[in-house]
């Protein structure tokens, strides 16, 4: 494996964990995984640099919305990518998100069971909505802090529907700060949603158990700090 220190500094700073089978990067908000129809930067542009001597380009084992920052797992070999895909499909991966929401939920913790479906109109385009005819979707939430009309929530999705956390927070009555589709308050720092931590079990194709965290992006830090998040924000690499 080529030494990760050969990476450009800006990309090395995004590398949370690396081993022969996989890597975890800190995806910035605003970066889509795939190239758009009109061009622009995407994760695909990073993959040749992240190859680091492997035969194949690393590939994402799961999805993160363009506007969501944080932990993204990439498989570095075909067997490891297949194994990672299976882990995510069978919900064997523990995913933890942080969000700042506009409004506080009732209580300190709870579960959102709200099926989701895709809807589309010519005027507004497509979006997801909570609807009884949708696919099952479940999110466990916990209140970590807050200030005034803002709340800091820990979110653990037990399913992986498109825009699940964004719709579920709005369904709870607490849309995510800066959400242009499911909220009602724009924010210069954008969507305050972070894929904070990820934990993978051990496996023959993926190696030892892994747990790591992504730091709160600088643009989101003021809102998280206002809600009580610690100012020290270490990154855990295991």
Q: Pairing mode, if any, of strands 150-157 and 94-102? A: antiparallel
Q: What does the buried/exposed string (b/e) look like for 177-192 if buried means 16 or more CB atoms within 10 Å of the residue's CB?
A: bbbebbbeeebebbbb
- CATH class label, 4-226: alpha beta
106 annotated active-site: no
pTM: 0.94
Query: Tens digit of pLDDT for each residue in 76-89?
Result: 999 999 999 999 99
233 pLDDT tier (thresholds 50, 70, 90): low
Query: Tens digit of pLDDT for each residue in 204-226?
Result: 999 999 999 999 999 999 999 99
Query: Tens digit of pLDDT for each residue in 125-170?
Result: 888 999 999 999 999 999 999 999 999 999 999 999 999 999 999 9
Percent of the chain with pLDDT over 90: 85
Question: What is the C-alpha radius of gyration for the chain, rounded to an integer number of angstroms?
Answer: 18
Query: Tens digit of pLDDT for each residue in 94-125?
Result: 999 999 999 999 999 999 999 999 998 777 78
- Active-site annotation holder among 26, 34, 65, 133: 65
Secondary structure (3-state) at 31: coil
**Rounded Cα–Cα distance for residues 196 and 95 (Å):** 8
238 pLDDT tier (thresholds 50, 70, 90): very low
């Amino acid at each position: 494996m080529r030494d990760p220190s050969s990476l450009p500094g800006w990309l090395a700073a995004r590398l949370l964990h690396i081993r022969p089978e996989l890597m975890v990067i800190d995806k910035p908000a605003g970066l889509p995984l795939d190239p758009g129809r009109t061009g622009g930067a995407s994760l695909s542009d990073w993959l040749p640099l992240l190859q680091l001597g492997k035969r194949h380009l690393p590939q994402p084992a799961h999805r993160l919305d363009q506007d969501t920052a944080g932990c993204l797992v990439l498989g570095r070999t075909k067997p490891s990518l297949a194994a990672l895909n299976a882990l995510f499909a069978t919900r064997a991966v523990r995913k933890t998100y942080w969000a700042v929401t506009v409004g506080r939920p009732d209580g300190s913790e709870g579960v959102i069971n709200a099926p989701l479906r895709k809807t589309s109109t010519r005027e507004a385009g497509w979006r997801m909505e909570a609807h009884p005819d949708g696919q099952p979707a479940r999110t466990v939430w916990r209140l970590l802090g807050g200030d005034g009309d803002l709340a800091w929530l820990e979110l653990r999705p037990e399913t992986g529907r498109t825009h699940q956390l964004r719709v579920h927070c709005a369904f709870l009555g607490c849309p995510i700060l800066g959400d242009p589709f499911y909220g009602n308050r724009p924010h210069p720092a954008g969507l305050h949603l972070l894929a904070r931590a990820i934990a993978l079990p051990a496996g023959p194709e993926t190696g030892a158990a892994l747990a790591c965290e992504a730091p709160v992006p600088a643009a989101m830090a003021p809102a998280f700090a206002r809600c009580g998040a610690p100012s020290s924000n270490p990154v855990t690499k295991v």
